[in-house]
Amino acid sequence: MKKNDERINENIKVIPTNKIDSTAWRELPYAEEGHVGKYKNKIKTIYDVVEKYQPKVSAQTGLNAGHSAVLILEASDTVLHSFDLGHHLNSTPLVHGILEKYYPNRHYYVEGDSKKTLKNFDTKIDFAMVDGGHDYDSCLQDIINFDRCLNLNGLMLIDDVHQGPVGNAVNDFNWELYDDISEEVKDYHGLAKLFIKKRTEHRFPIISSDVV
Ligand SMILES: C[S@@+](CC[C@H](N)C(=O)[O-])C[C@H]1O[C@@H](n2cnc3c(N)ncnc32)[C@H](O)[C@@H]1O
């Protein structure tokens, strides 16, 4: 059961942080699924991380009703690529128009299963947020695909790591190229992991068993 002070009005009248007064935030549609905008400490943590690292190009799985998108776009001048199934017909497909109005030419939306759509994504990114499908396969594939695109010193933030399949996917990925800086997101509601890519070469490259 969530504590009352951690639950924010689902109708999204609150201001995301005390630093901004985002009109875009107020215009977002009613969310048909969970989102970061319900929790003060998630809002603050995401905003602070993006503000601190100032990514130029970002990507996220899980656009939903646009809350994480507004935080990322408000906290920096980044361009943001969002991937979502788009099955919440009264929210997700409408969000891109709102984001385009407030952050012109800074938001791109790709509809479909990210396990497929992200496979063709080859844009170099500085910040990735994994918050799409919370099943093991979707989460692991999102991590693998974002890892391929992340620049050196790029960040990967993974939401809801306390959920079994998400936690298992995070544990099964080889983070050897990354430093775990989850300490920076310790005040998150629930559990998040934050990794920064610090190396480009694996210490022990995988050699195909076909090679003799
Ligand atoms: C928890 S919500 C995202 C919340 C959003 N990041 C926010 O805080 O504003 C999860 C979203 O992931 C999407 N999703 C679920 N499975 C997906 C998949 N396989 N590919 C792409 N999007 C998916 C859902 O449609 C939903 O909108």
Q: Spell out which residues line ligand 1, taking CB within 6 angstroms.
A: 33-36, 61-62, 64, 67-68, 83-85, 87-88, 92, 113-115, 131-133, 138
DSSP class of 30: P
pLDDT of 118 over the 90 cut: yes
At 108 the pLDDT is 98
pLDDT in tens, 190-207: 799 999 999 988 877 666
Give the ligand 1 atom nearest the CA of 113: 20
At 211 the pLDDT is 55
Its pTM stands at 0.91
To test the ligand 1 pocket, which listed residue (68, 84, 137) has its Cβ within 8 A of the most ligand atoms? Answer: 84
At 18 the pLDDT is 75
Strand ranges in 28-172 using DSSP code E only, listed in sequence order: 57-61, 79-84, 107-111, 125-130, 150-158
Distance CA 11, CA 1 (A): 20
Ordered structural domains, the chain, with CATH: 4-16+39-197 (3.40.50.150)
At 8 the pLDDT is 47
